[in-house]
Amino acid sequence: MVAMKVLKGLKSKTKFEKVIVYPWSKILRTILSKHEHREYTCLACRKSMFKAAEIVCRREGATGIVTGESLGQKATQTLPNLGATTRGIKFPILRPLLGFDKIEIERLSKKLGIWHDVHAGCCYATPKHPRTRADSEMLDRLLDELHIEDAITREYENILEVRTFDEDFKGYLETLA
C-alpha cells in the first residue's frame, strides 16, 4: 500500500486526474515462463511495460510516456538497453530524471515532499546476471514468441482507475490473485 500513499502524495503536488493500475502478475509469469535467455527477463518486462503504456496512451488520448529512469542505475537503464526497450514504441518517452544520480533523486523528492523511507523494493524476478547490452532483435523475438501483446491486451480489461484514493485497492488486489 506504500505505492498508493506515494501516488496520493504526488496527486496533491501535480494535480493529475487519475492513476491507472495495470495488473502485472500474469504478464510477468508469461515472461518468466520462457526459461531460455533469463538474462533478458528485466528487459522483456520493461519493454512490455512500454507496450502496456502505449495501450493506455491510445485509450486515454495521452501523447507520451513519462518514466523515472536514471541512466545506469539498473540493468535496463544502460544506454543500449534504453534503446532496445523502446525500439518500436510509438509514443515519445520522456525521462526527466535520466541524468540524475540516486542521491540527486532522493534530494529532489525530499524537497518536493514526496520522499518515503519505505519503498516497494526489488523485483523477485530479477535474474542473477541481467543483460546490460541487449540485442534488440532478440528481445523483440522473445516477446513475439511469448505472445506478450495478447497478454497485455487481456490484462487491460482488469485495470483499476484510481481517482479519489478511496477505492478498495486491497480488494482489487485480492480479485487478481
* DSSP letter string, 39-96: GGHHHHHHHHHHHHHHHHHHHHT---EE----TTSSGGGSHHHHHHHHTT--S-EE-T
Q: Which domains are assigned to the chain?
A: 19-176 (3.40.50.620)
User: pLDDT above 70 covers what percent of the chain?
Assistant: 97
Alpha-carbon gap, residue 142 to 34, rounded angstroms: 8
Amino acid 117: pLDDT: 76
Q: Which amino acid is at 121?
A: G
Amino acid 11: pLDDT: 84
Q: How confident is the model at residue 119 (pLDDT cuts 50, 70, 90)?
A: low
pLDDT digits (tens, 9 = 90+) for 126-157: 999 999 999 999 999 999 999 999 999 999 99
Amino acid 64: pLDDT: 97
Per the listing, cell 532478440 goes with: 138
Alpha-carbon gap, residue 31 to 125, rounded angstroms: 10
* pLDDT exceeds 90 at position 40: yes
Half-sphere exposure of 37 toward its Cβ, with a 13 Å CA cutoff? 19
* pLDDT exceeds 80 at position 50: yes
> Could you tell me whether strands 93-94 and 65-66 are parallel, antiparallel, or unpaired per DSSP bridges?
parallel
63 CB-near residues (< 8 Å, 6+ apart): 57, 91, 92
* pLDDT exceeds 70 at position 120: no
Alpha-carbon gap, residue 7 to 165, rounded angstroms: 9
* pLDDT exceeds 90 at position 10: no
Q: How confident is the model at residue 20 (pLDDT cuts 50, 70, 90)?
A: very high
Amino acid 42: pLDDT: 95
pLDDT digits (tens, 9 = 90+) for 74-113: 899 999 999 999 999 999 999 999 999 989 998 998 998 8
What is residue 147's DSSP assignment?
A: T
C-alpha cell at position 168: 478498495
Q: How confident is the model at residue 121 (pLDDT cuts 50, 70, 90)?
A: low
Amino acid 92: pLDDT: 98
